[in-house]
Structure 1
Amino acid sequence: MFRIDRNLTADELDKALRADVAEGLTARPKQLPPKWFYDERGSELFEDITRLPEYYPTRAERSILEARADEIAEAAGSVALIELGSGAGVKTRLLLDAMRRQGDLARFVPVDVSGEFLAASARPVADDYPGLDVHAVVGDFERHLGLLPVSEDGRQTLAVLGSTIGNQEPGPRASFLRDIHDVLHPGDCLLLGADLVKDPARLVAAYDDPGGVTAAFDRNVLSVINQRLGGDFDPAAYDHLAVWNAECEWIEMRLRARSAQHVRVADLDLEVDFAEGEQMRTEISAKFRREGLTAELDAAGFDLTRWWTDDAGDFALTLATVR
């Protein structure tokens, strides 16, 4: 069975884009949230990134799931999988298959901001898993967790894969983890993907490939503003940078103006100047250590119960239980 709840309309998504762009372009220093990378072109570019030899996180996480999915499903003992930022792709199906082999899987709740994406990706899951209740939810998981169809019937696992958690700074990340805790029930599980701290040279290479795919992805946020808000950015006038912030232990993606730029965003009636060399942050990707992540989960009301890594120790999947 397939159904979809639309908690985020196109108008609401447009309002969120307007608010984020207006706030970000007038901030000091300027910054934009990474969720606006992902129009159709941005999503295609990110898929290209995941296949780059330098970009290890997707392969590492998938290798853990290929080796440990049955162990994860057994440890979680859940009848439902809720996935935030759902891809409904290979990694999701590895989990669903393992949970089905445990004999208890009854529900799958994929969550994403794009209704079109959800309809296209989640409906085939309903077709391929007869008897599975697929209840898709259109929403911004940073704002709409309280609207999730969390059931009282059986244990649930909520998955946040791909080290999505790393795109938030510590304060918002702590609030997000507490919000997840508050929508789940005692005994429910959080399956969390986390990229681990490693050689900064490898980290920078993963976010600044020599072929320029990541640079095109980074500049795509300017194209989104042009197309959806009447901006006149010249994306070619900005260089892509990937910088390791050792103090915060995260990668920062930035766009740097090659020369002085004057930009108008017609739909916001906004004019913005960039000085030559001025940088605008477009993404952070925090990297984690076991002790730090354990402390963050503990503060949010979770007990870290299992920890799996790939063979190289680059990436971790953690299973935490709601106290």
Structure 2
Amino acid sequence: MSPAPNDVIEALLNDAPDLLRWSGAVARKLRSFNIALEGKSSGNANTDALTLADLTVQELVVAGLRDRSPILRECRIEAEEENGDLGAFRDEGELTIALDPIDGTKQFRDRTGNGYSVMLHLRTRDDVLFSLVYCPEDGPTGSWTMAYGDTLKCGPDDLSLSAQECLQAMPNIQSSGRPDSRKIYLIGFQKNDAANAEKVTAAGLEGFPPDETPGSIYPLLATGQFGGSLIHSPNIYDYPVSIQIARILGGDSVWVHNGEPVHFEETWMDDRASMLRLPGIVATADSPEKLKILVDLARDWNPVRYSD
């Protein structure tokens, strides 16, 4: 029997902030060294980037989740890399903790920006229940994005406080005072990211391919600097955080071919990138109006990720 979701959320509220802050500090230090690794061959540089930091951070976070609260071991765990004591967690169950040790690895590895993050979320087969994203170099001290229930927070880290105290003191984001951005992040369309971003702009929004997006999409979406995303076959380690943010803000995340809300009943293993993905193209937006534009635009686009 799976543990009660609220009990797991409470454990993550207590334990995950420290783990992500410590892991972010390790990642920031490792970034000063040549730590690139081989291992992925999808043909997309944003997907194939892999570093020693990915493996080190995952080892640390998985061990911390294993050791800090016994209830966390009663959940399934899905992690983008294959290392760490993943066997300490349940093989089956209603609750899944998913981990992306370094989201934005290409930018991290190539030192082309500071929008990388350490992140995890808790989900069921139908919904995302808790999300925590730490961007170690977003601003002078790093930044947090956190979501659970009706709570959505985003702001700078305060190193004079514990990570948990910093998040507790951070005010909630109110939809009424948040900017109404029409910027949309695109990724996963292989060589067509930029061309498809132009189509989004022509449809009345503002499309941004990965290399033109000024940071991690999660704080950008939470704070209203971006209004959504359009992703081909998103992976299940980082993208689901967008679902929770969008739904808290009054929007949603849906498959463009049928407009139905995203769920996690069906996934596929992308052997080229060594990661689990959702099928097809997914649109996410903070309002129904933007979501409709994205769905109408991309409904007939090719749902197959690779052409060969």
After TM superposition, the score normalised by the length of structure 1 is 0.24
Structure holding more strand per residue: 1
As a proportion of its length, which structure holds more helix? 1
Kindly name which structure, 1 or 2, has the bigger radius of gyration based on alpha carbons. 1
Higher relative contact order (CA 8 A, sep 6+): 1
